[in-house]
Amino acid sequence: MHHKKLWEGSITFKENSHLYKYKTWLANNKKLQLNTYNELWQWSVNHIEDFWISIWDYFGVISHQPYYSVLTKGTMPDVEWFLGATLNYSEHIFRHSHLSEETAIIFNNEQGVYLEISWNELREKVASMVTYLKSIGLTKGDRVVAFLPNVPEATISFLAANSIGAIWSSTSPDFGSESVIDRFAQIKPKVFITVDGYYYNGKPYDKTGASIAIANALPSLEKVVVLPYLNKNAIENFPKDFIDINDIFKKQGEPLTFEPVDFNHPIWVLYSSGTTGLPKAIVHSHGGILLEHLKYLAFQNDVHEGERYFWFTTTGWMMWNFLQSPLLLGATIVLYDGSPTSPDFYKLWEFSEDVKINHFGTSAPFLVASMKRNISLKEKYSLASIRSISSTGAPLPYEAFEYVYENIKQNVWLCSMAGGTDVCTAFVGGTPFYAVHAGEIQCRALGVSLYAYDDNGHPIEDELGEMTIDQPMPSMPIYFWNDPNKANYKASYFEHYPGKWRHGDFIKINSQTHGLVIYGRSDATLNRHGIRIGTSEIYRSINKIETIEDALIVNLELNGGKHFMPLFVKMKSGFDLTDDTKTQINEQLKKEYSPRHVPDTIIEVLDIPYTISGKKMEAPVKKILLKMPLEKSINIDSMKNPESIGFFIAFAKTI
């Protein structure tokens, strides 16, 4: 595999990186001479305990009780990290006292509201919220849930809950009330922080009724707090015992203190997308997230104190949780609430230019959509402040890499990364030590013992295999909520290769560059006559056809060894699917890949179904077309565009 080299950091870029300083620190303090990134990675996975001790020591973790054991013996997931240690995640965020007058949070929304919050002000607001939570009797282990946009109040509320050892969970107001109840009811929260509504694409969406309905469906609640966002007098439309969040912030809090909790104490609950049933409630630990995010943001993303770190996300996606952690490094987090394309595709880049963002995070579909619309930024903006552009959420195709360098910025570090809600981080991503090659993720992250496995469970390179992690990571879930004996947890990752985490992605590791390519979800893999095809190859080819907006492909294994592979396409506005376009698709797939990549039929649809977090719903569509019971095939509440699924339900009856 020879992928075109698009960029490499200068010697200065590399020597100023956290990774370079860490490498030097290992040489001086641990007598380890590890010169290349691959040597560092190899050491980190061969000596997993030593590696995580080095992260603990290098970042100076504040521990109230020392650990007596780094990692218990046993097989995943029945292992525990840093036994005996007590700490607090928020305490590590507020240890940057020298930054008190500097900016901690920058916020902007579609309506043009712009705020800068200093570290001092952040501390004061968190202290006010802590004082309130304590006054209503909230203690360690209680749950605080939020139905909020990506606003500073969400960050403040999370840090306050975290400071007292309470467990946080959030969803975004674009979720339907039933899907919010499906999530929150599982964990029996005591406090619910909600909103009167939000704006998207220039339109207000009132959520007063939904907020009241969610509150009424959660009998464990003791208090409901409301953020008036659409209307400053919104509290008047809520029941009398609901509290305006601004009344909490008006009162000065007690000085901020931090409750030391066990390393393995829950920090938050995240949820799987719940496409086929109740969303899994995934629980991470204070210590695991602290160590993993320090490591990832410093060494794979190179985030420095005072830099401005942006990721376009909602509070319902794990990237919101990840976005809180640059504060650990003394960086400024940049929040944006609204549509990324309103009024146009330039919006976020213009915002980046205005507030001088250093690290710009987005989704692969956003970059692909920009590419398909020929959005060129070079003439409009210098984007001089941007050092890195990060992309996740789906594989970033080869052409989108080239697009970034040709049309967005030439001298930029493009960090394509992939991980999951399951670990609230990326397994694979960037390194300042390597070049960026088109279509390739640069490296496996330090401490992530990840390989491509063949069907017999053997590691392979330069061939398609199952992404498998054979050593534990501290940010793997401590458990799923309400999952006795970890039965559901084990079934999710450990059944295929016992004791090893099978993530469900198809990957190919490049033996030359040590980079890798992700070919899509292995449960949506197109197994054509014994040959496995990653869905991303099909999409990559179709992306080149100007008139096509989006596509989805599945392969149905039928009785008697037969196959049926339909391709569904959504055309750009003003275009229809013609025989010429069908011929172009088929010829292009045959030429670029193989005759096996050619679909059996091509069907025009009005829309492609997506989850709320922006993932194409290939596996649920496949189940529907295989005529599995609807309730086992899809959970409509987990969808961003539920109206899109009707076509597939109707189509299934015709095959």
- pLDDT value, residue 560: 67
pLDDT confidence band for 506 (50 / 70 / 90)? confident
Top pLDDT among 82 and 622 is at 82
In degrees and rounded to multiples of 5, residue 219 shows phi and psi of -65, -20
**Residue 364 scores a pLDDT above 60:** yes
pLDDT in tens, 50-75: 999 999 999 999 999 999 999 999 99
Q: Where are the alpha helices (DSSP H) in 543-653?
A: 579-592, 618-625, 630-633, 645-652
**Residue 507 scores a pLDDT above 60:** yes
End-to-end CA distance of the chain: 39
- pLDDT value, residue 273: 75
pLDDT in tens, 321-340: 999 999 999 999 999 999 99
pLDDT in tens, 396-450: 989 999 999 999 999 999 999 999 999 999 999 999 999 999 999 999 999 999 9
Q: Please name the amino acid found at residue 225.
A: V
- pLDDT value, residue 631: 82
Q: If you average pLDDT over every residue of the chain, what do you get?
A: 94
Query: Comparing C-alpha atoms, which of 82, 564, 14, 105 is closest to residue 292?
Result: 82
Q: What does each C-alpha distance from 225 to 131, 145, 274, 448, 545 come to in angstroms?
A: 14, 10, 27, 40, 49
Interaxial angle between packed helices 618-625 and 645-652, expressed in degrees from 0 to 180 and rounded to the nearest 10: 30
- pLDDT value, residue 632: 79
**Residue 220 scores a pLDDT above 90:** yes
Query: Comparing C-alpha atoms, which of 97, 141, 140, 142 is closest to residue 120?
Result: 97
Looking up tokens 């001790």, which residue turns up? Answer: 53
pLDDT in tens, 225-244: 999 999 999 999 999 999 99
Q: What are the b/e assignments for 582-602, b being 16+ CB within 10 Å?
A: bebbbebbeeeeeebbbbeeb
Q: What percent of the chain has pLDDT over 70?
A: 98
Class of domain 107-262: alpha beta
Q: What is the rounded CA–CA span in Å between residue 574 and residue 572? A: 6
- Cβ atoms of residues 146 and 315 within 8 Å: yes
| Phi-psi label, residue 274: left if phi above 0, alpha if psi -120 to 50, beta otherwise | left
Interaxial angle between packed helices 535-542 and 579-592, expressed in degrees from 0 to 180 and rounded to the nearest 10: 130
Mean pLDDT of 154-178: 96
- pLDDT value, residue 652: 92
Q: What percent of the chain has pLDDT over 90?
A: 83
**Residue 531 scores a pLDDT above 80:** no
SS3 at position 523? helix
Q: What is the rounded CA–CA span in Å between residue 276 and residue 273? A: 9
pLDDT in tens, 253-306: 999 999 999 999 999 999 987 666 678 999 999 999 999 999 999 999 999 999
Mean pLDDT of 35-48: 97
**Residue 386 scores a pLDDT above 90:** yes
Structure tokens at 326: 């640059």
Q: What is the rounded CA–CA span in Å between residue 31 and residue 15? A: 19
- Cβ atoms of residues 119 and 126 within 8 Å: no
- pLDDT value, residue 276: 60
**Residue 523 scores a pLDDT above 90:** no
- pLDDT value, residue 2: 61
- pLDDT value, residue 558: 76
DSSP one-letter code for 505 = E
- Cβ atoms of residues 301 and 390 within 8 Å: yes
DSSP character string of 174-203: TS-HHHHHHHHGGG--SEEEEESEEEETTE
- pLDDT value, residue 76: 95
Query: Comparing C-alpha atoms, which of 288, 365, 368 is closest to residue 79?
Result: 288
* CATH of 523-652 among 3.40.50.1970, 3.30.300.30, 3.40.50.170, 3.40.190.10: 3.30.300.30
CA angle 174, 111, 611 (to 5 degrees): 20
Strand partners, 144: 168, 191
Q: What is the rounded CA–CA span in Å between residue 616 and residue 188? A: 30
- pLDDT value, residue 530: 66
Mean pLDDT of 167-175: 95
Q: Is the Cα torsion angle 221, 286, 86, 301 positive or negative in sign?
A: negative
**Residue 532 scores a pLDDT above 80:** no
Count how many Cα atoms sit within 13 Å of the Cα of residue 274 in the half-sphere of its side chain: 24
**Residue 1 scores a pLDDT above 70:** no
In degrees and rounded to multiples of 5, residue 73 shows phi and psi of -75, 155
Query: Comparing C-alpha atoms, which of 139, 144, 157, 162 is closest to residue 93?
Result: 162
Query: Which run of H or of E encompasses 282?
Result: strand 281-285
Q: What is the rounded CA–CA span in Å between residue 450 and residue 428? A: 9
Domain boundary assignment for the chain: 107-262, 523-652
